[in-house]
Amino acid sequence: MSYERPADLARALALRAEGGRVVLAGGTDLLAATRARELRGPVLDVTGVAEMQGVTLSAEGLRLGGAASWTAVARAPLPPACAGLQAAARVVGSTQIQNRGTVAGNLVNASPAADSVPPLLTLDAEVELVSLRGTRRLALGAFLLGPRRTALAADELLVAVHVPAAALAGQGAFEKLGARAHLVISIGMAAARLVVAGGRVVSAALAVGACSPVAQRLGAVEAALVGRPLAELGEALDPAAAAAALSPIDDVRADAGYRRAVAPELLRRALLACAPAPETAL
Amino acid sequence: MNDGTGSREPTSPGRRRFLISTALSGAAPMMGRIGPAEAAETGAPPAVTPGAMPTMAISLTVNGRTHRLDLDPRKTLLDGLREEIGLTGVKKGCDHGQCGACTVLIDGRRELSCLTLAAAAEGREVVTVEGLAAADGTLHPMQQAFIDHDALQCGYCTPGQILSAIGCVQEGHAETADDIREYMSGNICRCAAYPNIVAAVADARARMEG
């Protein structure tokens, strides 16, 4: 059989372990990148796997099934910390793409410009990787190794993404810059998640995408924000420090210098969007 | 849609391949020159001889009719609909998920048939533009609104626009002109009939809900 769409994980893992199959998890990247007739060999379509469905909240946190579509992520009733993730879900291509494209597909595809990655990094997301050998969890930042490279083993499937309950605190936001408003690959994007108390920053999580081989958190910039009053939030973000943490390249969408200039501004906007209104409203 | 930063320019290789295959009517000899090792280095997908895979039997439910097909499992739903079933209302624009011309409804949701394998649509309800009118020929309100508002010029993108617009209304994303513009952004109109398309969608929403 050269196309399989198993209904359960056990069967999917058995097929994966046999090797030689291209894993299809929606196909919006796979089929856009490889014309269909050039698909290398048999296809393992994981979108029907029961264990990979759903967007669910529990006491442990948030679980995104690997086969959950971006529409499902965008439409789920999630806490404000996930606002950035949901905003990103709404700009993964068009609505048609969001209806078909999946969480696992987007992450395993490992594009440096994947819109979902910066907000997931600010949510301390972990990926659940399963094979017949067992299950392991990796921080998303450790899973993404480089452009189009991940830590996924040849017999593993990315079954789910987990956000720990502790990371569901605060308010999230997402800012994307493209050549136009919609249906565009990002020049750069930034995600923030801010926890405040008594008018001051308790913790901040910041991430930038499309400005380094892998989207990344900016730990030093985050640390400098802790304890700062909300009224100073815009100035508290050091653009030079943010730019220094990045390693953008020149490409068809923008040059490196432009990216270095806009990334801190995207971060500043995302950060301000996280702050409670009205005194810091844009 | 999420391309790597500068790792690849999505449009030109496909276009080049299209031109090659058009010119040579069969791209296998050209593509066969790229060996797996070289392909790995360049990041290009390793070449395979087209047609090497055995066919598989699937049944597709399109516009309420079930079609039993024997096709290459790598065939897209777009090619299956056009070439196997003869539903040429589904248009092949970019074949890359960027233009929306191939939009169909699958289980009521708008999806791109160029980025969906035909085999993956088995067991799901597919609707194309041919399936919208009533049995007596009465057009779907969205079709009628596109005519009434002159929401097209060349018409090539129109079937995809109409199906996408039906999805847009059913999702509740057609409440304002801004919403319509945002949620119809996956459908490109090279004639730029956009103002009339927005008007048609808003009008059809009222007719569909009324």
Tens-digit pLDDT profile for residues A62-96: 999 999 999 999 999 999 999 999 999 999 889 99
Question: Is position A242 within any domain?
Answer: yes
User: What is the pLDDT, as a whole number, of residue B44?
Assistant: 44
Whether B32 is covered by a domain: the verdict is yes
Reported confidence tier of residue B41, pLDDT bands at 50, 70, 90: very low
Q: Does A99 share its domain with A150?
A: yes
pLDDT tens-digit readout, B68-100? 999 988 899 999 999 999 999 999 999 989 999
Element (H, E) at B166: helix B158-170
Which chain A residues are within 8 Å of B187, Cβ to Cβ? 94
Residue B137 lies in a domain: yes
Averaged pLDDT for residues A47-70: 97
- Residues B106, B113: Cα–Cα separation, whole Å: 9
- Whether residue B108 is contained in a domain is answered as no
**Confidence (pLDDT) at A278:** 52
With a cut of 70, say whether residue B38 has pLDDT above it: no
Residue B208 clears pLDDT 60, i.e. is over it: yes
Planar angle of CA B103, B108, B112, nearest 5 degrees: 20
pLDDT, position B30 = 35
How high does pLDDT run on average in chain A? 92
CATH code where residue B153 lies: 1.10.150.120
* Three-state SS annotation for chain A: CCEECCCCHHHHHHHHHHCCCEEECCCCCHHHHCCHHHCCCCEEECCCCHHHCCEEEECCEEEEECCCEHHHHHHCCCCHHHHHHHHHHCCCCCHHHHHHCEHHHHHHHCCCCCCCHHHHHHCCCEEEEEECCEEEEEEHHHHEEECCEECCCCCCEEEEEEEEHHHHCCEEEEEEECCCCCCCCCCEEEEEEEEEECCEEEEEEEEEECCCCCCEECHHHHHHHCCCEHHHHHHHCCHHHHHHCCCCCCCCCCCHHHHHHHHHHHHHHHHHHHCCCCCCCC
Same domain, A219 and A260: yes
Nearest to A227 by CA among A204, A253, A243, A260: A204
* Residue A187 belongs to a domain: yes
Residue B29 has pLDDT above 70, yes or no: no
Range of the domain at A222: 170-274
Q: In whole angstroms, what separates CA B15 from the centre of its chain?
A: 17
The percentage of residues in chain A with a pLDDT greater than 90, rounded to a whole number, is 71
Chain A residues in contact with B182 (beta carbon < 8 A): 181-182
Q: Are A31 and B115 in contact (CB under 8 A)?
A: yes
Closest CB to B111 among A41, A96, A185: A96
A148 and B43: CB-CB below 8 Å? yes
Q: Is residue B28 part of a domain?
A: yes
3-state secondary structure of B86: coil
CATH number, domain containing residue A260: 3.30.390.50
pLDDT top residue among A198 and A280: A198
Domain count, chain B: 2
- Tell whether A198 and A159 lie within a shared domain: no
Mean pLDDT of B25-50: 39
Q: What is the pLDDT of residue A227?
A: 95
Average pLDDT over residues A25-43: 78
Dist CA B186 CA B208 (whole Å): 22
**How many domains are contained in chain A?**
2
- End-of-domain residue from the set A129, A151, A166: A166
Q: ipTM of this predicted complex?
A: 0.87
A97, A109, A248 member nearest B97 (Cβ): A97
Question: Is B26 part of a structural domain of the chain?
Answer: yes
Residue span of the structural domain in which B32 resides = 14-42
Tokens of B117: 């394998």
The answer to which of A20-34, A68-82, A145-159 has the lowest mean pLDDT is A20-34
CA angle B162, B163, B167 (to 5 degrees): 115
The string of DSSP letters for B92-154 reads: -SSSSSSS-TTEEEETTEEEEGGGSBGGGGTTSEEE-GGGSS-TTSPPPHHHHHHHHTT--SS
Residues ≥6 apart with Cβ < 8 Å to B179: B173
Residue B8 lies in a domain: no
| The pLDDT of residue A212 is above 90 | no
pLDDT greater than 50 at residue B47 = no
Give the strand pairing for A55-58 and A144-146. unpaired
Mutate one of A21, A37, A47, A144 to test the B interface: name it (highest B CB count within 10 A). Answer: A37
Q: Which of B2, B119, B186 sits opposite A111 (nearest CB)?
A: B2
CB contact, 8 Å: B93 with chain A? no
Cβ separation B115–A45 shorter than 8 A: no
Is residue A127 located within the same domain as residue A77?
A: yes
Last residue of a domain, one of A166, A191, A214: A166
Compute the distance between CA of residue A193 and CA of residue A197 in angstroms, rounded to an integer: 14
Using the Cβ of B10 and the Cβ atoms of chain A, whether some distance falls under 8 Å is answered with yes
CATH code: domain of residue A145: 3.30.465.10
| Burial tier of B193 (Cβ tally within 10 Å: 0-12, 13-18, 19+) | buried
- Whether residue A223 sits in one domain with residue A161: no
Q: Which of A230-234, B134-138, B177-181 has the lowest mean pLDDT?
A: A230-234
Residue B51 reports pLDDT greater than 60: no
DSSP conformational letter for B8:
-
Which chain B residue's Cα is nearest to A105?
B2
Q: How confident is the model at residue A31 (pLDDT cuts 50, 70, 90)?
A: confident
Q: Which residue has the higher pLDDT, A166 or A36?
A: A166
User: What integer pLDDT is reported at residue A255 of this predicted model?
Assistant: 85
* Alpha carbon distance A77, A75 (integer Å): 7
pLDDT bracket for residue B175 (50, 70, 90): very high
Query: Which of A122, A139, A166 is a domain's end point?
Result: A166
A191 and A84 housed in the same domain: no
In 3D space, the residue among B157, B90, B155, B158 whose CA is nearest the CA of residue B118 turns out to be B90
Counting one residue from chain A and one from chain B, the pairs whose CB atoms sit within 8 A come to 164
- B197 lies in some domain: yes
